[in-house]
Amino acid sequence: MCLGIPARIRSIGGGSQAEVELGGVVRGVDLTLVPEARIGDYVLVHVGFAIQLIDEGEALETLRLLQELAGCESGAPL
């Protein structure tokens, strides 16, 4: 139920409907809750609705923090 999948917007139609692509599969989603989404953006999809834009900057920052956490404290080289 909490399932949310990141998917890339490939086209936007009328009535807040869009097509997204996840791993090669194309499906329709409703963009009403994320009106600022544009083609090429990644959104989090839940039960056929986009519920948030994925923030690329934050995503990269999280990966950077993960690298740091994995590298420094265990003493292993990055």
Candidates 11, 39, 62, 64: give the one binding other proteins (CB under 8 A). Answer: 62
Closest CA to 44 of 57, 56, 68, 77: 56
When the beta carbons of 11 and 59 are compared against other proteins, the nearer one is 59
Is residue 14 a contact residue for other proteins (CB under 8 A)?
no
CB 15 within 8 A of CB 32: no
When the beta carbons of 11 and 34 are compared against other proteins, the nearer one is 34
E-only strand ranges, 1-78: 5-12, 17-22, 25-30, 42-46, 49-53
Binding footprint of other proteins on the chain (CB under 8 A)? 1-6, 8, 22-24, 30, 32-35, 42, 44, 46-49, 51-56, 58-59, 61-63, 65-67, 69-74, 76
